[in-house]
Structure 1
Amino acid sequence: MAEDIRNKKRNFRHEIEDLAFGSIAGMVGKVVEYPFDLVKVRLQTQPLDRPYYKGPWHCLKATIQHEGFFSLYKGMSLPMAGAMVENATLFVGYRQIQRVIRLATDNLDESQPLPMGQLVLAGAGAGSLASLVLTPVELVKCKLQIQNTNDSLLQRYQGPKHVIQHVLHQHGPLGFYRGFLPTLIRETGGAVFWFGLYEYTCHLFLQRRHSQSKKDLSPLELMLAGAMGGIGYNVSLFPIDSVKSHMQTEEELRPGAPKRSFAQVARSIYQEGGVRGFYRGCGITAFRSAPTNAVIFLTYELLTQHFGS
């Protein structure tokens, strides 16, 4: 009985730590990532027959030139909060699902890492949980990011609060889950690559050091592992992310047109641009994912090592 109480207390401390450390890591990562994410969304949603931008750097330059530097952080307040919640959910879910797997397999020695297949399963479960939090945040973010993409597009929203009011008034609470299916697919599959490649890269570094503890890894090694996870997450399911961005912004970019399903949007993108149509903005996304996720994992691991129980 006493041992059970100690385990419950230790598990609760771990949950609180993951919430705090994941939130801080998400906040730091979002500051690095957000301008590149804005460029990605604008490239994904611009018309193929009359594109506004020649590429990511043209989009970045034009945005700063016409809207000012701080426009790169347009609508960031809610995504910042969302990034904190998302990463907290991912890290808490990842650890707790690992705990469930250990209980189910009688592998209770937490000093021994789980097999890679079980870590990947834990990552997928954590990603699925994160999609519930992330879909409304992504919807608000995308609607704000496409504002002022060209002179003929009317700026309809003054900020996140205005978007939230509009969605509630026009579509009700369920309106915030427009694009949930592609977000669920992206987060579930993406988290497999995010955690999987991170853990695998750490495993390779630990093998070289003849160690089993990430405490023995240098900050550079942790950053390289995080960068690998980030690139894998963002590139692996980028076409799904493109469909999501279209679904969440078609109310603004196709005013008056009926809503389209996931399959209809995917078919439309393919008909207009072929396979390449799904990968608009992929280059800038891969470019920013490396430093962003290097910072996220480094921040989380260092906080865990120095302040964790």
Structure 2
Amino acid sequence: MADKQISLPAKLINGGVAGLIGVTCVFPIDLAKTRLQNQQNGSRLYTSMSDCLIKTIRSEGYFGMYRGAAVNLTLVTPEKAIKLAANDFFRHHFSKDGQKLTLLKEMLAGCGAGTCQVIVTTPMEMLKIQLQDAGRIAAQRKLMPQAVTPGGPVEMKSPTAMQLTRQLLKEKGIAGLYKGLGATLLRDVPFSIIYFPLFANLNNLGKKGGDGPAPFYVSFISGCIAGSTAAVAVNPVDVIKTRLQSLTRGSEEDSYSGVTDCIRKILRNEGPAAFLKGAYCRALVIAPLFGIAQVVYFLGVGEFILSHLPKRNN
């Protein structure tokens, strides 16, 4: 975020607005990323992001690319709000008398932000992945009707997010929604440690004056570069997280008992390159998401909304 002081309510609004706009714009690419990461050797349906999107439109229609979007749009506001506001909070807490933060303190602030956000991120990703991958499983079932069997707690052809939530809570309690929490932490904490310091330093390079904010295009480009860099850096963990959180898979596809088991089986059966599956999709998703977030902060959308709310008379 820019270095100007922003009230907490404005931070929350800015983070939420940025998340809603960003998810709407890039969700189809995120769907392709999930399906590419989940397909294993011997059960490949898609050769690339474009191939995945084309086949999705053909078999599921245009809105098939937005499977699981409702979950994201519902939960992305608190998720992004927590992430962005927490980073600003920790940066403010670590700074003394407005002095520039050291790189270590910037990384610690990012670490705090990444840790806070998993409260919302884990169940959001858990539900989203089931809905996004349902089309891939259905396509496999058509091609290999005897080879694909449901492997999770939900045995519905097209479950909704509410059906999934109720089933998971009934069978496994709240822990069902937090499957893959460890992998989510392993992804989101390093992501934030890389992203926030990198953005802050890139953004500072574009400042025209010593105290004034950088031009909005500098914030946008800095957000895109920092976001895509961090996304690619943590993609191996994102692959692990996606695999662990997938409840339904083909009968010939591996299942995993934990992070270590997942790493071992991927290395043995698919090779190291499998950890880069969907990396370019993830970069294409994250870059505009955080570029948009920085522009929303720069434009002061939250401050504008708050300034036009009717004031109470005491």
> More displaced, 159-168 or 138-147?
159-168
| Residues 1:91 and 2:69 are matched in the alignment | no
Preserved CA contact (<8 Å) 2:224 2:290: yes
State the match for 2:116 in structure 1.
Answer: 129
C-alpha separation between the residues in 2 aligned to 1:169 and 1:43? 30
Determine the C-alpha separation between the residues in 2 that align with 1:27 and 1:304. Answer: 13
Q: Is 2:245 the counterpart of 1:252? A: no
Q: CA deviation at 1:77?
A: 1.2
Q: TM-score, normalised by structure 2?
A: 0.85
Higher helix share: 1
Inter-partner Cα distance in structure 2 for 1:218 and 1:210: 10
Change (3 A) 1:284 1:20: same
Work out the CA distance in 2 between the residues paired with 1:125 and 1:235: 21
Q: Which amino acid aligns with 1:212?
A: D
1:197-245 CA distances to partner (integer Å, 9 max, x unpaired)? 2111101112xx242332xx22211110110121022111100000000
SS in 2 for 1:156: coil
Deviations 1:13-70 (A, max 9, x none): 7221111111111111111221111000000001212201111111011001111111
* Sequence identity (%): 24
What residue ranges of structure 2 are gaps of 5+ in the alignment? 142-147, 151-155, 308-314
Q: Counterpart amino acid of 1:227?
A: C
Residue from 267, 286, 291 that aligns with 1:289: 286
In structure 2, give the amino acid aligned to 1:278.
F
Post-superposition Cα deviations, 1:271-301, rounded to whole Å, max 9, x if no partner, equal: 1111111111112222333223211211122
- Correspondence for 2:9 among 16, 20, 23: 16
Residue of structure 2 in register with 1:188 after alignment: 189
- Cα distance in 2 between the residues matched to 1:257 and 1:238: 19
TM-score scaled to structure 1, two decimals? 0.86
**C-alpha distance in structure 1 between counterparts of 2:118 and 2:158, whole Å:** 24
Report the equivalent of 1:232. Answer: 229
1:306–1:257 Cα change, 3 Å: closer
Are 2:124 and 1:117 aligned? no
Residues 223 and 297 of structure 1 are in contact (CA less than 8 Å); yes or no, is this contact kept in structure 2? yes
**Larger RCO of the pair (alpha carbons < 8 Å, separation 6+):** 2
Once the two structures are superposed, residues 52-106 of structure 1 have per-residue CA deviations (whole angstroms, 9 ceiling, x without a partner) of 111111101100111111111111111112211111001221122123223xxxx
Deviation, 1:138, is 0.4
Cα distance, 1:40–1:258 mapped onto 2, change above 3 Å:
closer
Stretch moving more, 78-87 or 237-246: 78-87
d(CA) in 2 for partners of 1:117, 1:260: 35
Question: What is the CA-CA distance between 1:267 and the residue it aligns to?
Answer: 1.0
CA distance in 1 between counterparts of 2:25 and 2:194 reads: 21
1:135 deviates by 0.3
CA RMSD of aligned residues (A): 2.2
**Secondary structure of the corresponding residue to residue 245 of structure 2:** helix
Instruction: State the number of aligned residues.
Output: 287
Give, in whole Å, the separation in 1 of the partners of 2:301 and 2:62.
Answer: 35
CA distance in 2, matches of 1:234, 1:183: 13
Deviation at 1:257, TM superposition (A): 8.3
User: Distance in 1 between the 2:53 and 2:112 partners?
Assistant: 35
Q: CA deviation at 1:259?
A: 5.2
